[in-house]
């Protein structure tokens, strides 16, 4: 089995170690997924803030023109 770039023959591992490796790799996948979701949410929030700033600037310009 190839886990994190290390090749390990499954037959050489006791069942508990094999299960630990699987659990750890599953945790890593879940952590990566959570990180990606968090990063996407932060990007979306930053875009919304930038959009709000642009709208505020446009409103101020319109008020000055009036």
- Whether 51 has a pLDDT exceeding 70, the answer reads yes
Mean pLDDT of the chain: 79
Whole-angstrom distance, CA of residue 53 vs CA of residue 41: 18
In the prediction, which pLDDT does 2 show? 47
Domain extents for the chain? Answer: 2-65
How far apart are alpha carbons 43 and 48 in whole angstroms?
A: 9
């Amino acid at each position: 089995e190839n886990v994190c770039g290390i090749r390990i023959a499954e037959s050489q591992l006791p069942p508990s170690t094999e299960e630990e490796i699987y659990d750890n790799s599953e945790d890593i996948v879940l952590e990566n997924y959570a990180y990606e979701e968090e990063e996407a949410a932060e990007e979306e929030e930053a875009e919304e803030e930038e959009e709000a700033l642009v709208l505020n600037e446009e409103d101020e310009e319109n008020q000055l023109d009036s």
